[in-house]
Amino acid sequence: MRAHLLAGPAPRDFRMDASAPQPLIALSGIEVSLPSEAGLVHILRGIDLDVADGEAVGLVGPSGSGKSTLLMVLAGLERPTAGEVRVAGRTFAGMDEDALALFRRDNIGVVFQSFHLIATMTALENVAVPLEFAGRRDAFDRAGAELEAVGLGHRLGHYPSQLSGGEQQRVALARAVAAGPKLLLADEPTGNLDGATGAAVIDLIFARHARLGTTLVLITHDVALASACDRIVQLKDGRIESIAPGAGRGALAAR
């Protein structure tokens, strides 16, 4: 915590040139600070970052660097203390919670480390629920197709307790992409999985990203995994420390 309280160098600006195409994600001066008994804790310190439409970006950094908080800001689940968040041409500052929820439903898919499946619903129902909320008449057909795409066509009627960890994460991925989001956020999606199962899930995430043309932001402690993205963004003490080009999906074959 002390590192968060100390002053540091000025934040660096990693936004695109003004002449470049409109980015899908545009972050300007993002700060997140929370009160504590020891004083104000600065979690994010002036993040400036643009991410292009269809790009894959890996966010890496030690625990406490602000990765998960940044993802929550991108999802509209955490309000920044200062700065502007723009995703798919919309600025979050002018939206209330209901508007943000609708925007997430139509534009953002999130894959969490802990799956967050509804225990009393089957795999098919878990994927179909957000589609039903969106008024999709083909909700169950679409959900079934996405589960087929992640190799779970034979498990449609199974409940989360009847699925392995890897299968549950594949259900979560199918749910995240079923509505065709412009932005896919993945927060340590292999953190609760063994190596082989995690690798299979990562292959599926990149395959769905490529097939659907979504922008992907992947949070991971694994720099080798992040290198499969187009760019690697290194966070430290709530700031962007560096940005480097990734090796692309070919890096997955070398793992």
| pLDDT of 13 strictly over 80 | no
Least confident residue range of 106-110, 152-156, 192-196:
192-196
**Angstrom distances, CA of residue 236 to CA of 9, 17, 63, 216:** 12, 24, 9, 21
| pLDDT of 66 strictly over 50 | yes
| pLDDT of 185 strictly over 90 | yes
How confident is the model over 31-61, as pLDDT tens digits?
A: 999 988 888 999 999 999 999 999 999 999 9
- Give the integer Cα–Cα distance in Å for 78 and 87: 14
For the question of whether the overall pTM of this predicted structure is more than 0.75, the answer is: yes
Residue 62: band (very low, low, confident or very high) from pLDDT cuts 50, 70, 90: very high
pLDDT of residue 14: 52
pLDDT of residue 153: 96
Residue 210: band (very low, low, confident or very high) from pLDDT cuts 50, 70, 90: very high
Dihedral sign of CA atoms 41, 43, 45, 46 in order: negative
Average pLDDT, the chain: 90
- Give the integer Cα–Cα distance in Å for 155 and 135: 25
**Angstrom distances, CA of residue 213 to CA of 58, 185, 210:** 16, 14, 5
| pLDDT of 209 strictly over 90 | yes
Task: Kindly provide the residue ranges of all beta strands, DSSP E only, lying in 80-214, ordered along the sequence.
Answer: 82-87, 90-91, 108-111, 183-187
80-88 mean pLDDT: 97
CA 243, distance to chain mean position in Å, is: 18
If you ran DSSP here, which 8-state letter would residue 17 be given? P
pLDDT of residue 252: 65
